[in-house]
Chain A
Amino acid sequence: MSDARSPEVLPAGPDGVLVRFGLTPDPDAMAAAQVLAAELQDDAPAAAVEIAPALVSVLVRFDPGRTDRGAVARDLAARAERIAAARPVLPDPPRRWTIPAAFGGDHGPQLAEVAEKLGMSEDRAVQQICEADLRVLAIGFAPGQPYIGLLPRAWNLPRLAEMTPNVPVGAVVVAVRQIVIFGAASTTGWRQVARTGFRTFVPDRETPMLLKAGDAIRYAPIGAAEIEGLMTPDGMGGARLEILR
């Protein structure tokens, strides 16, 4: 079975090959998947038509009219083994987003519960989120919706057995050392700790889906009253983007 040091290269549909560094969201496997995805973005295999990174795997779709599965699989296996053997850490982010978010209170109704489980004050919990070296680990489930991580080990909180029926658009929710920003009102088993005016998906915006796997994310805490002013039609929510390399 796969672990971060022995990646598997597997058929994934009629025009896909998947490289998988693990079965569970293990930090080493995540780092290896990010490194491979970053390398493939710059230097894709011949006849690759799409690179889609997931948490611990990367899917490469190819054009079966121009290459064959074996050639793609051999190329990917060589890269994956080289990367896994190097025991990589997360690659340096190409870009960094600073996203204003209002924590606690009405905008983060479960922050108190999270802080209690972590045995710390709400302020300390917010500080840990804002100081963590966070990356977009993958985009998925819904358009533009990021899986962000990893929070410190203590944040390995399970999903709730009881679903929260409705968190609003822009809800910032946590579970299993990860953060999700919801792009639409949703039902969720994750705990809402904050809300942002940043919209991960706006269909008629020039770039409908803004975030990419590998982007660094930094939250900037704002007061509860400030968020209304940041609910702008462009869905940027006051977020700032820096290009790092």
Chain B
Amino acid sequence: MSRLTISRADGLLSVQDMGRPGHLGQGLSCGGAMDRMALIEAAALLGADTPLAAIEMAGAGGVFGVDAPMRVALTGAPMAAFLDDAPLRWHGCHLILPGQALRIGGVDSGVYGYLTPAGGIATPEWLGSRAAHLSIGIGALLDSGDDLPCGEDPDPDRPARVIEPAVRFGGGTLRVMDGPQTGLFADDVLEAFYAAGFRRGQRANRQGILVQTGKGCFTSDHAAGLASDVIGPGDVQLTGEGVPFVLMAECQTMGGYPRIGRVIPADLPRIAQAAEGAALRFQRLDASQADALWRDDAALLREAAGRCRNLIREPSTIADLLSYQLVGGVTAGRELEDE
């Protein structure tokens, strides 16, 4: 088993995958990556059949090394990346060799970057997932000197690839489907909520993200005495003061505050990647409109694979151009005739 070493951790780093669904009835939310599209895009780049466990990097990356040749995908929030001194394309996959240092800096836009080894991080699973669930003490933030087991790269010779990422790093419109408690809000409150412009607030973590507006607060007359109900990622929950929080991957499973609706899965990466101050709006969908937009992970992976292409390097950007054997594989061109 090969290993990925963290020589230095600069951001908040944790192992994340697609989480552990199926335990709501036992009070455990799914958890997993804040930007699930980043894991899907990484799988597309690496040619994997399903999303792999990765290092989620909030705010900034760090310095990483490997003990065996290993392709890694760099997805999610764009970060400055260098292999030794050579810049690496973000939204791409690259081969890292033992002895080389992969340096990942701070985010250019967005919040969460992802470093995915081609064989996936292979730390022990808990309830079928390797995802750190920090709020309940499962896993921990990664630190300098940590050394993570990885599955073997199934195809280290596969060429470097890049992907056109799904647009999601600068705020924008979040589509919200009506939920069980939408009807507890008066029509004028709903109208005002969907007309207002918001900004991502200062309070944001893996459990939830505050969104703020100068256009009032959004309360429900039914909030007092409401029985606690099942909540989940994407729910737009209004506190007692009528301030909206969008619940995220590590949210609790039950809550007593009313929810105006749920951000659809396709737009959750957009709120996860909205940096503090990013402009956001909400757009209301009914259930049938939302259902028409639903895609399973396999469909999203097929779609992401269609956005990948081989990395063609500009000769002018290659510092050591003369060291490349540019004419390797040239022949007389009669192989097919000889068959």
Q: Contact residues of A with B, CB < 8 Å?
A: 8, 10-16, 18, 20, 22-25, 29, 49-57, 59, 61, 64-65, 68-69, 138-145, 147, 184, 201, 203, 208-209, 212-213
Contact = CB atoms under 8 A, between A and B. Distances in A.
A152 B251 CA distance: 32
A139 B25 CA distance: 6
Interface size class of B (residues with CB under 8 A): 35 or more
A53 B136 CA distance: 21
B253 to A, nearest CB: 5
Given A23-B226, A59-B230, A69-B291, 9 more contacts: A8-B180, A14-B291, A57-B227, A140-B253, A144-B26, A145-B27, A208-B127, A209-B28, A213-B25
Closest A-B pairs by Cβ, 5 of them: A140-B254, A52-B24, A11-B287, A209-B26, A10-B180
B136 A69 contact: no
Interface in B276-324: 287, 290-291, 294, 296
A138 B254 contact: yes
Contacts of A55: 227-229
Contacts, number: 126
A19 to B, nearest CB: 9
B230 A50 contact: no
Contact of B291 (A20, A24, A68): A68
A141 B25 contact: no
Interface of B: 21-28, 126-127, 136-138, 177-180, 184, 222, 225-230, 232, 234-235, 252-255, 262, 264-265, 287, 290-291, 294, 296
B287 A52 contact: no
A13 B24 contact: no
Nearest to A14: B294
Given A51-B25, A140-B254, A209-B23, A57 B178 contact: no
A14 B265 contact: yes
A14 B290 contact: yes
B27 A144 contact: yes
Looking at chain B's contact residues, is the secondary structure mostly helix, strand, loop, or mixed? Answer: loop
A143 B230 CA distance: 13
B67 to A, nearest CB: 28
Contact of B178 (A11, A140, A203, A213): A11
B227 A24 contact: yes
Contacts of B234: 13
Contacts of A11: 177-180, 287, 290
29 contacts: A11-B177, A11-B179, A11-B287, A12-B180, A13-B177, A13-B179, A14-B177, A14-B262, A14-B264, A18-B229, A22-B227, A24-B227, A25-B227, A29-B227, A50-B24, A52-B24, A54-B230, A55-B229, A57-B229, A64-B296, A141-B252, A141-B254, A143-B26, A143-B27, A143-B136, A144-B26, A144-B27, A209-B23, A212-B25
A12 B179 contact: yes
Contact of A142 (B136, B179, B262, B291): B136
A52 B228 contact: no
A18 B227 contact: no
Contact of B227 (A12, A54, A68, A208): A54
Contacts of B287: 11, 69
Contact of A203 (B23, B126, B296): B126
A156 B6 CA distance: 53
A139 to B, nearest CB: 4
Contacts of B226: 23-24
A11 B290 CA distance: 10
A147 B230 contact: no
A65 B300 CA distance: 13
A18 B228 CA distance: 13
Contacts of A144: 26-28
Contacts of A20: 180, 229
A34 to B, nearest CB: 13
A14 B178 CA distance: 10
A83 B232 CA distance: 27
A49 B22 CA distance: 7
Nearest to B21: A50
Given A11-B177, A13-B234, A139 B291 contact: no
Nearest to B178: A11
Contacts of A64: 291, 294, 296
Contact of A23 (B26, B222, B296): B222
A69 B25 CA distance: 20
Contacts of B262: 12-14
A11 B178 CA distance: 7
Contacts of B230: 12, 18, 52, 54, 57, 59, 140
A181 B27 CA distance: 13
Contacts of B138: 203
Given A68-B291, A201-B136, A23 B227 contact: yes
Contact of A56 (B184, B227, B235, B294): B227
Contacts of A10: 179-180
Contacts of B25: 50-53, 139, 212-213
